[in-house]
Amino acid sequence: MRNLFIVLIISLLYIPKVVSQINCSRYYPLEEGTSFEYTSTNKKGKIESTANYMVSKVSNSANTTVAEMTINLSDKKGKEIIQSSYNITCTGSGVKIDFQSLMAGDMIKQYHEMDIDVALTGTDIELPNELSIGQELTNANVTMNISMAGMNMKTIVNMINRKVEKKENITTISGSYECFVIYSENESQVMGIKRTYPSRLWLTEGIGMVKQESYKSNGDLISTTTLTKFNK
């Protein structure tokens, strides 16, 4: 379960944190009902999980848009693992994700049913509308404190060294895209044990994430997440 927490948090840092109004974000479209399917495979190309995202609600006030995204995560056999939702805020300059909202709804309910208390804190992850090769992006982090049966466990995930590496054309099962490639390092600390996992994100205008790869510290591939369906 501990490994699932880490994978989920890292995934939420990458997979569409959509936007809303026209021109609110250059990279993430938002219309209620817009849906995305992402399939994750291991280093051998075997399916590990599938995540379905949908823009379920959009609200606007002044120059700010708040969007609710629902997520259904299933394992390689198609069995649902987690169903939850989270909110993001979008302004004319880009998007910001509130980490306080990443573990809401059914996920928190499951923890309470197991007599587990969860507290989540962190800093927003930002993605500006204007990207350029060589650009450095702000770091982000999330801390999750879990209390159960008198025991406490802290998980920290820091997203550091974020930068726009290059532009690249890629083709996936869902189509061909021109993408910015964003590199970052995901540093996880669980019960005092620290590990660093570099990653790359392929981001295209009008859709968002097309592909994401995670690596070991030595550069060996761990997993790949690819956009397999997109409906707007």
Report residue 99's pLDDT band, with 50, 70 and 90 as the boundaries. low
Q: What is the pLDDT of residue 23?
A: 52
In this prediction the pTM is 0.81
The amino acid present at 38, given as its one-letter code, is Y
CATH architecture, domain defined by 2-231: Beta Barrel (2.40)
Listed in sequence order, the residues at least 6 apart from 220 whose beta carbon sits closer than 8 Å to its beta carbon are: 43
**pLDDT, the chain, mean:** 82
Residues 168-184: tens digit of each pLDDT: 999 999 999 999 999 99
pLDDT at 204 over 90: yes
d(CA 204, CA 127): 13
| Distance from C-alpha of 83 to C-alpha of 71, rounded to nearest angstrom | 6
